Amino acid sequence: MASTVPKVASNSAEYILTLSCPDRAGIVHAVTGFLAEHNLNIKDSQQFGDPTSKRFFMRVHFIPVDTEKTEINLEQLRSSFEKTAESMSMNFELSCVAQKPRVMIMVSKIGHCLNDILFRQSISQLSISVPLIVSNHPDFAPLAKTYNIPFHHLPVTADTKLEQETQILNLVKENNIDLIVLARYMQVLSPGLCSAMSGKIINIHHSFLPSFKGAKPYHQAYDRGVKIIGATAHFVTSDLDEGPIIEQNVVRVDHALSPKELTMEGSNVESNVLATAVKWVTEKRVLLNGHKTVVFN
């Protein structure tokens, strides 16, 4: 007699609920109760109550109880959850796992982070869509072409910054961009652009913040004789290199390395840190907590 294998819901029927609210009793009970009432089954759940900010953070990965059901009406579910959210002053987001975030990558003349993200995306290590690449230099147009991704060369000077950033925002709107990734884009964004895309821009800083901010951090590190160097991925704010930190990593170095060699060592760390940050943010694992983040990795 042939055995039957139970069907497992594909990621088209998998969903993520993230939320934050003032910490209080009954939050988990309210959320899990709501999901049960709507015939939704929790695959995994993570939560954290911050004793300093007095806020509660939660990420829930769920599927329909009926595994024959391939999708749910997300707008209806979102509307139904509003009552629970309002009762507990929740900020929440509901998303479908199968819906790949649309990511605009911005780069200048250093391409290792860009190349790394494009490769990871091409082999499905990153579940993202990259509709376009933007640069203030033309250097990586050939690389974009190999991945069949439109490349937009938008040169910028101090006099044309406002015009150039207006073009960027127009491209964001035209391409329904969910996230901007600065893959060594060596321009300081204006407060206007930072505000317009608040919480939706990730930068890789080639240093272990908060040390060595600004230009040439590896040269600063060399001058201080550091024994470790690193990279920091963070959200972009109008305060230079002060945005909430998402991920960091380091590598040991010694006195024999020149600034150029430190830069080469650091490039691998930068690529890994940025890719990890992009993965966590696009998988809805990063929640803002004031000037910090909660990361459910």
Q: Which residue has the tokens 């590598």?
A: 251
Nearest partner of 236 among 271, 209, 269, judged by Cα: 209
Phi, psi (rounded to 5 degrees) for 263: -60, -40
Active-site residue (options: 50, 116, 241, 254)? 241
How far, in Å, CA of 7 to CA of 241, rounded? 48
Answer whether 61's CB lies under 8 Å from 44's CB: yes
Three-state DSSP class for residue 250: strand
- Residues forming a β-bridge with 20: 57, 91
Is 241 one of the annotated active-site residues of the chain? yes
The DSSP line for 106-170 is EE-S--HHHHHHHHHHHTTSS--EEEEEEESSSTTHHHHHHTT--EEE----TTTHHHHHHHHHH
How far, in Å, CA of 161 to CA of 180, rounded? 17
Three-state DSSP class for residue 50: strand
How far, in Å, CA of 52 to CA of 186, rounded? 35
Phi, psi (rounded to 5 degrees) for 29: -60, -45
Contacts of residue 222, Cβ cutoff 8 Å, sequence gap at least 6: 257, 258, 259, 262
Helix (H) or strand (E) holding 184: none
Answer whether 241's CB lies under 8 Å from 205's CB: yes
Contacts of residue 267, Cβ cutoff 8 Å, sequence gap at least 6: 112, 206
Task: Return the amino acid letter for 156.
Answer: V
Q: What is the DSSP letter of 123?
A: T
Catalytic machinery residues: 241
